[in-house]
Amino acid sequence: MNIEKTFELAIENHKKNNFQIAENLYKEALKTNPNHFKSIYYLGTLLAETKKFDLAKLLFHKATQIQPNYAMAHNNLGNVLSELGEHQKAISSYEKAIQIEPNYSHAHNNLGMILQKLGEYQKAISSYEKAIQIQPNYAKAHNNLGIVLQELGEYQKAMESFEKAITIQPDYVKAYNNLGNALKELGEY
For residue 187, the model assigns a pLDDT of: 78
pTM of the model: 0.92
Give per-residue pLDDT as tens, 95-137. 999 999 999 999 999 999 999 999 999 999 999 999 999 999 9
The amino acid at 151: E
Rounded to the nearest 5°, which phi and psi values hold at 10?
Answer: -65, -45
For residue 72, the model assigns a pLDDT of: 98
Give per-residue pLDDT as tens, 66-76. 999 999 999 99
CA dihedral 60, 144, 172, 97 (to 10 degrees): -30
Rounded to the nearest 5°, which phi and psi values hold at 43?
Answer: -65, -40
Nearest-CA neighbor of 117 among 156, 78, 154, 155? 78
Residue numbers of the chain with a pLDDT score lower than 70: 188-189
- Cα 39 to Cα 25: distance, rounded to the nearest angstrom: 9
